[in-house]
Structure 1
Amino acid sequence: MMIRRILLPAFIFVAIWSCKKDDSPSVEVVPPRLLSEVSVENDATIKEFLENHFYNYEEFANPGPDFNYRIVIDSIAGDNADKTPLSEQVLTEVVKVSSTDLGLPSEEVDVEHTLYYLIAREGIGNQATAKDSVYLKYKGSRLNGTVFDSRFGSPTWFDLPGSISMQSAPSVTGFREGVAKFKAGGEITENGDGTFDVKGSGVGLIIMPSGLAYFQSSSVGEAYAPLLFEINLLVAKTKEDEDDNIVK
């Protein structure tokens, strides 16, 4: 799962191999870029994406009997030239990140990053928090549409803040803070075969700069890449609820 935070020592940099005249390998160490520099670039890229794309909001407003509540994003052009852009529908929150949060060698403190999120369908259940364990479906992609991780066919549990006892790393900041903007579903119906259905789950998007995700890591296919997550939040449980497992 790509959403987990990759914990790296502060002294590890991106290494680029080159060869000397004697053909013996050498390493040129390139330090990570500054958070403050990348944040501005990423935000401009995200804003351009939001201004030029829309989602199937009309289907969400008037869902047919077979609508699957999946978000479909397309470009505003041609027959879709009159669609309302995502830029007019998303909400935002500023999240401060310091270089120490990402294990970076620079000494930047509280660099502001803008997190964007869209609630396509509000859940009818409880409000999630960044400290919850959540059961959800998700798809992660870069803004060019390249998918790097997906669990829409098989929902999964995430302990958003991480758990030492469960040996799970915390989720990346943007995902953790973004999920906390959504409400979970309501009534849970067990199907008798180990599966269950959740009524009225929360559906939407989370769009984040790389400083709230993997920053210089190329684990998503590209370093310093802004990311987009489509989520369907089924269940959100507080720490106090964990002994009363709804789904095992």
Structure 2
Amino acid sequence: MKLKNAYLLIAGLIIISSCKKDDDSPGEVIPPRTLSEVAIEDDAEIVEFLQTHFYNKEEFDAAVEGFDFKIKFDTIAGANSTKQSIYDSPFLITETISVESSSFGRTDGEVIDHKLYTLVVRQGVEEGKPTIGDFSILRYEGSLMDGTLFDASSYQPVRFNLSSVVRGFGNGVENFQTGSGPLDNADGTVSYDGYGIGAIFIPSGLGYFDGSSNSSISAYSPLIFKIDAFDYEPDSDFDGDGIPSIQEDLNGNGNLNDDNTDSESEGVRVYLANFNDSDDDNDGILTIDEIKIDGVIKKDANGIIIFPDTDGDGIPDHLDNDLK
């Protein structure tokens, strides 16, 4: 399964039973594990990897002719016993991200902090970084902690909606500046210069947790994604409703998938978060028509849309279902 299908997979967990059969005891049904216990184990596994492995820093520093600019990991041992660990690298970024167990169909009400680790081996030459509300153009390679490859993009750049991939991937890509390009090659392909290069180490709670359909990814597996960050499209509007998708992160938590004002509409089953919804309040009037003032979309000096509030109740028209 390709990475871009991850969001659909996670959404499907809500309606799919999460009980598993124990392979060692055929027929025995075991309950799903809690987010809290898995988060602790995942972080310990990732930290152990980071502390016992290094990457080919010397090759990046020298960048001799013919170097392919590919990240390679190896164990700190023997002839490599003096190498600096990834964990001690000044280029390792650690972020704490809260995850609700309900996003995986759980009903225990847990909200658990997860650590996301991003290694920025080379920062891109272009200023600015993508957000989870942008399309990003990149190349990636996904593997398990033991190095087993489970997915990879083709040689050519791939365009991703950063909120429709596994959450840790989208949040990790936000740490990279991108390159210059695209440059047209003689063979009809394109390339980029000075692009960002790195790796993202993702606990399962920011990945597939217990629900990947990829047979190579077992339940509760932490993941590693190596990425080349070529380019991005700032202020992307995924649903074409006139609002840049990053401005639809209403609670400001870096996750667009839990912002759904449709869910407040009584008696209506709704599946789309605002960034994927052309009618954010489900009132039958398109969002793009409700955000205009005197027929146009107006913005402040920072490029933030000034939303009309016709009835003065503090709720913008496009989020106000009782305004008709």
Q: The TM-score by the shorter chain falls in which range?
A: 0.7 to 0.9
Amino acid at match of 1:123: G
Give the one of 2, 5, 8 matched to 2:12: 8
Would you say the 8 A contact 1:13–1:29 is kept in 2?
no
Higher relative contact order structure (alpha carbons within 8 Å, sequence separation ≥ 6): 1
Distance 1:41 1:17, change over 3 A: closer
What is the correspondence of 1:221-232 to structure 2 with a 5 Å cutoff? Answer: 221-232=217-228
- Structure 2: tracts of 5 or more residues without a match: 241-324
Task: Report the Cα offset of residue 193 of structure 1.
Answer: 4.3
* Bigger proportion of residues as helix: 2
Aligned mates of 1:88, 1:144 — CA distance in 2:
20
Amino acid at match of 1:70: K
SS in 1 for 2:3: coil
Aligned mates of 2:136, 2:156 — CA distance in 1:
14
Task: Report the Cα offset of residue 136 of structure 1.
Answer: 0.7
Question: 1:216 aligns to what?
Answer: 210
Aligned mates of 2:131, 2:22 — CA distance in 1:
43
Aligned mates of 1:222, 1:76 — CA distance in 2:
27
Aligned mates of 1:60, 1:206 — CA distance in 2:
18
Question: 2:122 aligns to what?
Answer: 121
Amino acid at match of 2:197: V
Aligned length: 227
Is 1:46 the counterpart of 2:46? The answer is yes
- Give the stretch that moved more between structures: 132-141 or 30-39: 30-39
Aligned mates of 1:152, 1:9 — CA distance in 2:
28
User: TM-score, length-normalised on structure 1?
Assistant: 0.85
Amino acid at match of 2:63: P
Distance 1:121 1:158, change over 3 A: same
- Structure 1: tracts of 5 or more residues without a match: 19-25, 162-169, 244-248
Give the one of 169, 180, 186 matched to 2:174: 180
Would you say the 8 A contact 1:139–1:149 is kept in 2?
yes
Backbone CA RMSD of aligned residues: 2.2
Aligned mates of 2:87, 2:191 — CA distance in 1:
32
Aligned mates of 1:10, 1:240 — CA distance in 2:
28
SS in 2 for 1:96: strand
Question: 1:21 aligns to what?
Answer: none
SS in 1 for 2:169: helix
Would you say the 8 A contact 1:15–1:27 is kept in 2?
no
Superposed CA offset, 1:77-97 (max 9, x none): 111011000111122000100
**Higher gyration radius (CA):** 2
Task: Report the Cα offset of residue 197 of structure 1.
Answer: 1.6
Task: Report the Cα offset of residue 15 of structure 1.
Answer: 3.3
User: TM-score, length-normalised on structure 2?
Assistant: 0.66
Amino acid at match of 1:129: T
What is the correspondence of 1:81-100 to structure 2 with a 5 Å cutoff? Answer: 81-89=81-89, 90-100=92-102
Superposed CA offset, 1:169-220 (max 9, x none): x111100100011111123311254311211000001001100001112534
Question: 1:164 aligns to what?
Answer: none
Would you say the 8 A contact 1:43–1:114 is kept in 2?
yes
Aligned mates of 1:120, 1:16 — CA distance in 2:
41
Amino acid at match of 2:20: A
Aligned mates of 1:42, 1:129 — CA distance in 2:
25
SS in 2 for 1:187: strand
Would you say the 8 A contact 1:10–1:105 is kept in 2?
no
Task: Report the Cα offset of residue 223 of structure 1.
Answer: 1.1
SS in 2 for 1:86: coil
* Bigger proportion of residues as strand: 1
Would you say the 8 A contact 2:20–2:32 is kept in 1?
no
